[in-house]
Structure 1
């Protein structure tokens, strides 16, 4: 299984008054990692919608907050595909600082027709095999 990673640095805007990353920002960091994973495969989400009407939405998410990130930390957000179904994918994601895991997550993303907001089959040739 291939692991994709995306670096993140923590800025003031990411933290609360105490310099600790606000919990919702971890979700944003993971979303960016998934977007960059798609981009690394040559998938432009806007073009995908224009051509097919399809897009990806988060269906389910489980988060395990282990340690806090703080102002100016350099983090690595990782993604691994755990399961692929006809209309959804399950990702394992982590956010780490050096050798310390700060957060573990599972994220199920569904493929939908964005106009109807109904489940749709993921095109068979959408993802490159080395990324799955």
Structure 2
């Protein structure tokens, strides 16, 4: 299956008092990878948001931690996006050390497309369905 890779350095502001990456910063890194993938695929998230008729809220998130990361580390976030239904997609993330490829964390998020203002499920825009559905063919 095709993947998207995002690389990021750990900054001091990402760490807690013990000097390791604070747990919520890993989800922030995942979201950065997701936004970078959207830009690379030319999927207009900002256009969807500003149009005001659709939203794609995150409805589920999980994360498991395997190894600490520290200020100055280079991390690689590998993202795989799958279409779960015409209105739902899932993002799987693996966060690894760039040099050693040691797995640091694994996360998953689920997103649902809703029509506004009713806040009812709606099909993803066709360009999103095509792009996510085509990930297997890249």
Is TM-score (shorter-chain normalized) higher than 0.5?
yes
Q: Distance in 2 between matches of 1:114 and 1:70?
A: 41
Alignment correspondent of 1:124: 126
Return 5+ residue gaps in structure 2 as ranges.
none
Conservation of the 8 A alpha-carbon contact between 2:10 and 2:74: yes
* Conservation of the 8 A alpha-carbon contact between 2:61 and 2:108: yes
* 1:16 lines up with 2:16 in the alignment: yes
Using the alignment, how far apart are the partners of 1:78 and 1:109 within structure 2? Answer: 18
Stretches of structure 1 that go unaligned for 5 or more consecutive residues are none
Bigger fraction of residues in strand = 1
Match of 1:64 in 2: 64
Partner of 1:54: 54
Q: CA deviation at 1:6?
A: 0.7
Contact persistence 2:52–2:116 (CA under 8 A): no
Note the C-alpha offset of 1:118. 2.7
Task: Determine the C-alpha separation between the residues in 2 that align with 1:12 and 1:131.
Answer: 35
C-alpha displacement at 1:130, in angstroms? 4.4
Q: Does residue 32 of structure 1 match 2:32?
A: yes
Deviations 1:58-98 (A, max 9, x none): 11112111111111000011111244311111121111103
Give the alignment's TM-score, normalised by structure 1: 0.89
> Does 2:111 align with 1:74?
no
Residue 100 of structure 1 pairs with residue 106 of structure 2: no
Report deviation, 1:51. Answer: 3.7
- Taking the aligned partners of 1:115 and 1:29, their CA distance within structure 2 comes to 30
Return the offset for 1:120: 1.5
- RMSD of the alignment, in Å? 1.8
Higher relative helix content? 2
1:45 and 1:55 in contact (8 A); partners too: no
